[in-house]
Amino acid sequence: MKKLAVVLILFICVTAVNQAHAQLSKDEKKEWKKKLKKMTPEQFKRMYDENASLKSELSSAQGQLSSIQARLSEKDAKIAEMTQQLREAEAKVNNAQRAIAQAQEQAAQNTGSSVSEDGVVFKVQIGAFRNKDLSKYFENHENFGGEVGDDGVQKITLGIFRDYWEADTFKKYLREMGVNDAWIVPYKDGTRVEMKDVLEGVI
What pLDDT sits at residue 79? 92
Q: For the chain, what's the residue count?
A: 203
pLDDT of residue 158: 83
Distance of alpha carbon 172 from alpha carbon 153, whole angstroms = 24
Question: pTM for this structure?
Answer: 0.41
pLDDT of residue 113: 47
What is the residue type of 72? L
DSSP state of 137: G
Tell me the mean pLDDT per 10 residues along the chain, length 203: 45 51 74 79 82 85 88 90 82 69 61 65 85 67 73 81 90 88 88 83 57
Provide φ and ψ at 74, rounded to 5°.
-65, -45
Query: What separation in angstroms does the CA of 176 have from each of 26, 52, 173?
Result: 82, 69, 5
What are the chain's domains?
Answer: 111-197 (3.30.70)
Say if residues 122 and 198 touch (Cβ distance below 8 Å).
no
Q: How far is CA 144 from CA 116, 160, 203, in A?
A: 14, 9, 24
CA–CA dist 79, 73 (Å, integer) = 10
